[in-house]
Amino acid sequence: MKKLFKRFFTVILALLMVFSAVPVLANQQTIRIEANGNILHFEPPLRIVSGWIIAPIRPVAEAVGATVNWNPYTWTATVIHNNTAVAMQIDNTSMAVMNISAGTQQTVTLEVAPRIYDGFTFLPIEAAARALGLNVNWDEGARILRINSPDFVPSLSIEEYLGIAAPDQALFELQNVLGRDIESFRTTNMQAFSRTNLGMMMGAEYEYGFRNTHNTGSVYFNLGGQWATLSGLFGPLDNVRTGASTTLTIRGDGRVLGTFEVVANDPVQTFTVNVAGVTQLIFTYSTDHWNSHHNFAVANVVVSQSTSAPTRLNTPIGNFEETITLGNQVRAYRLAQTQAFSRQAPGLVMGAEYEYGFRNTHNTGSAYFNINNRYTVMTGVFAPLDNVRSGASTTLTIRGDGRVLATFDVVANDPARTFSVDVTGVSQLIFTYSTDHWNSHHNFAVANVVLTRGGGASAQINQPPLPPQSTEVVLGRDMRAFRLTNAQEFTRNSPGTIMGVEHENGFRNTHNTGSAYFNLNNRHTAMTGSFGPLDNVRSGASTTLTIRGDGRTLATFEVSASDPLRNFTVDVTGVTQLIFTYSTDHWNSHHNFAVVNAVLR
């Protein structure tokens, strides 16, 4: 009997040693954080690691007037307060402390490194606060970590003034996470996520969740009849196959508690189920196609003793600001037959290079973004690329959480157009292209997509490399064509000769019809130039020149082989895209007419 007791005691002691080293959620009834007199609410809750409090830093920073910046490439959080900045990197115990005005820096060794839990950055709060010059005190009796600005003056309540202790209140209900606090006791054709095998949904990483590995699969949990509410997330993983779908059925003690369906293009959805009195809980998947079974998942499943268990979508790692650009601060979490631009491979629209944007690579294609219900207005540019095929067209559809927000059409000759869309309340944002011809799918793009929280975002068409604003800009010399279709520019080595005079700046068509495109960027009001037959013109030939601005005809001129060079003046006020189009009456005369000395003022 004594041996049995010793063995039992040894096992219990070993278990206590193991669990004492595991990070745990802090019980909000015993440990809280107060900043400048306000008890802070953390979602997700703060944690205790090796005896130190770690928590999302932003609530603390906002309470004391500090700012937080996040570098997603180095996984570094920088907190700035007055003249001091501290920088901490995920899983690194070295903290850099900088004096901004003096330009000096020192390194402090942390007791516990910053971590990422559920997609949120957790920092060692006390170490960061002390390094920033804040006053930090631990109230053992109240179990409160108090952080105050040096100039903070507390205001006493009547109870505190009279010395009457206020009753302690629980800020969060007791809750557990399936896969972390409650392990499954049986899995059939299922795979659980882990820290080394995360599930990716809408660009966010999920450590706790599971997906099936065959058409059907199940996972079992024992709730022991202790919980009231179950909530979680259900949706397609980022590598989902187009057109795939699945059904999730949740059963409690053999009874169906809820059934949910999602398809590949759906956003991640939340669910809440009543599990009062449930002992055996079963999740069952049924996927429509054998090769799609890895593409759907359940994650962040929380059981609570409350009737309103909180479950929220993870935020992809990144620093969300008042105004952001898609492709820069927020990257696409899924690209289907679509290619993103980059600094090394920009998109060319009206002679300007766009680093942030995307184009489709097939007749249809889509780009998916998670904007996490943080923004209200989105603006951007939609246009044909400079290598567009003549006559091609495409349709852009923008959807938010499955709902059509806007539809736009452009054809090859259209100028770049800006758009503005209301994205209030949207989490999943999808851009979908549909191009009219298979060999035109590379020729249209969305670029400079800007999101803002306040409604003041403005997307502008980029300026091509232009000389400084001057009184005169000569086409072909100061401003080159961004697209030539069956047209040829003159050069110093290959000038155009009209009435015995060589013209270096100008262009002619090389087929019966041809066009030259320029981006004026709404910078000029008038254009003058000359139009006429070249000296090698064929007798009897004639041609028509049409000048258009942003799709509108500005002027039309006709000349024949025997005509002299004629001058023209055109009003280009407010014009961005300027197009010269030739139409020659005979196929072998197309080299014989030209525009020269076109000057913008």
Structural domain spans, the chain: 24-153, 176-304, 323-452, 473-600
Residues near 151 by beta carbon (within 8 Å), at least 6 away in sequence: none
SS3 205: strand
Q: 323-452 has which CATH code?
A: 2.60.120.1060
DSSP assignment letter at 128:
H
Range from 88-92, 358-362, 434-438 that averages highest in pLDDT: 88-92
Across the range 402-415, mean pLDDT stands at: 89
The per-residue pLDDT for 313 is 66
Q: How confident is the model at residue 21 (pLDDT cuts 50, 70, 90)?
A: very low
Select from 118, 121, 7, 41 the least CA-distant residue to 75.
121
Task: Examine the pLDDT at 251 and tell me if it is beyond 90.
Answer: yes
Task: Examine the pLDDT at 553 and tell me if it is beyond 90.
Answer: yes
Residues paired with residue 358 on neighbouring β-strands, in sequence order: 340, 446
pLDDT tens-digit readout, 481-499: 888 888 888 877 778 777 7
The per-residue pLDDT for 513 is 82
SS3 391: coil
Q: How confident is the model at residue 464 (pLDDT cuts 50, 70, 90)?
A: low
Across the range 387-408, mean pLDDT stands at: 89
pLDDT tens-digit readout, 412-450: 888 888 899 999 989 899 999 888 765 555 678 899 898
DSSP assignment letter at 291:
G
- Does domain 176-304 correspond to CATH entry 2.60.120.1060? yes
Residue with more model confidence, 441 or 342: 342
176-304 and 323-452: same fold?
yes
Task: Examine the pLDDT at 344 and tell me if it is beyond 60.
Answer: yes
Residue 170 tokens read as 């629980």
Select from 196, 199, 233, 192 the least CA-distant residue to 213.
192
Question: Which CATH number does the domain 24-153 belong to among 3.30.450.80, 3.30.465.10, 3.30.457.10, 3.30.499.10?
Answer: 3.30.457.10
DSSP assignment letter at 92:
-
Select from 117, 116, 119, 110 the least CA-distant residue to 92.
110
- Please tell me the least confidently modeled range out of 205-219, 458-472, 543-557, 563-577: 458-472
Please say whether the beta carbons of 26 and 53 come within 8 A.
yes
Quick one: fold of 473-600?
Jelly Rolls (2.60.120)
Residue with more model confidence, 437 or 20: 437
The per-residue pLDDT for 22 is 35
